[in-house]
Amino acid sequence: MQLPITVAIDFMNQDHADFVKLIIQLDTALENESDEKISHIMAQLFKHTVEHFSHEESEMQRINFPPYPMHKGEHDQVINLLENAVTNWETEHSRPSLKQFIKETVMPWFYQHVETMDSITAQFIHRFDSTT
Ligand SMILES: [Fe+2]
């Protein structure tokens, strides 16, 4: 599991690195840990993602970033997907489904999101802060 590209704002890079770290923990736990451990990591991943997205969102609002609704829309969609994944995990405890969700949905979305929305947003915040 590799890190996404580096963006212009440090806290975002840190959040992205923490996200990848949690995904790696989850991936490893899916191989050889208990259901309880997996539930615990899923809860951490969910909490981290909510905080990580809301930090980006408050920065976008601070600088009046015009495509804010679009960026927030993607965040909301992913929060919904993660919420469903937590519910599915808690009801079915299906490791193959969770693995598939991470590999085919979460990670492709994440890399694509960082390369597009996050990278443009970070450039905009960086420029705003260096000119004001
Ligand atoms: Fe984002």
CATH number of the structural domain spanning residue 89: 1.20.120
Query: What does the alpha-carbon distance between residue 62 and residue 16 come to, in Å, rounded to a whole number?
Result: 21
Could you tell me where the beta strands, DSSP code E, fall in the chain? none
| Residue 89 lies inside a defined structural domain of this protein | yes
pLDDT of 11:
97
- Has residue 1 got a pLDDT over 90? no
The domain tally of the chain equals 1
The residues placing their C-beta within 5 Å of ligand 1, an ion, are: 56, 118
Query: 87: buried, middle or exposed (CB in 10 Å: 19+, 13-18, 0-12)?
Result: exposed
Write the pLDDT tens digit of every residue in 57-83.
Answer: 999 999 999 999 999 999 999 999 999
| Residue 60 lies inside a defined structural domain of this protein | no
| Residue 90 lies inside a defined structural domain of this protein | yes
Stretch 74-98: mean pLDDT, rounded? 97
| Residue 83 lies inside a defined structural domain of this protein | yes
C-alpha closest to that of 127 among 4, 9, 14, 5: 9
pLDDT of 132:
75
* Helices 35-62 and 10-32: angle between axes, nearest 10 degrees: 170
| Residue 35 lies inside a defined structural domain of this protein | yes
User: Which tokens hold the place of 47?
Assistant: 């909490």
- Has residue 104 got a pLDDT over 90? yes
Report in angstroms the alpha-carbon separations of 92 from 15, 35, 45, 79, 123. 30, 11, 19, 20, 42
Residue 103's domain comprises: 10-53+73-131
- Has residue 128 got a pLDDT over 90? yes
CA of 7 to the centre of ligand 1 (A): 11
Of the chain, the percentage scoring pLDDT greater than 70 comes to 100
CA of 33 to the centre of ligand 1 (A): 30
User: Which tokens hold the place of 59?
Assistant: 């920065």
| Residue 64 lies inside a defined structural domain of this protein | no
Amino acid of residue 79: I
pLDDT of 125:
97
pLDDT of 6:
98
| Residue 19 lies inside a defined structural domain of this protein | yes
CA of 125 to the centre of ligand 1 (A): 13
Confidence of residue 20 (pLDDT cuts 50, 70, 90): very high
The structure's pTM equals 0.94
| Residue 81 lies inside a defined structural domain of this protein | yes
SS3 at position 27 = helix
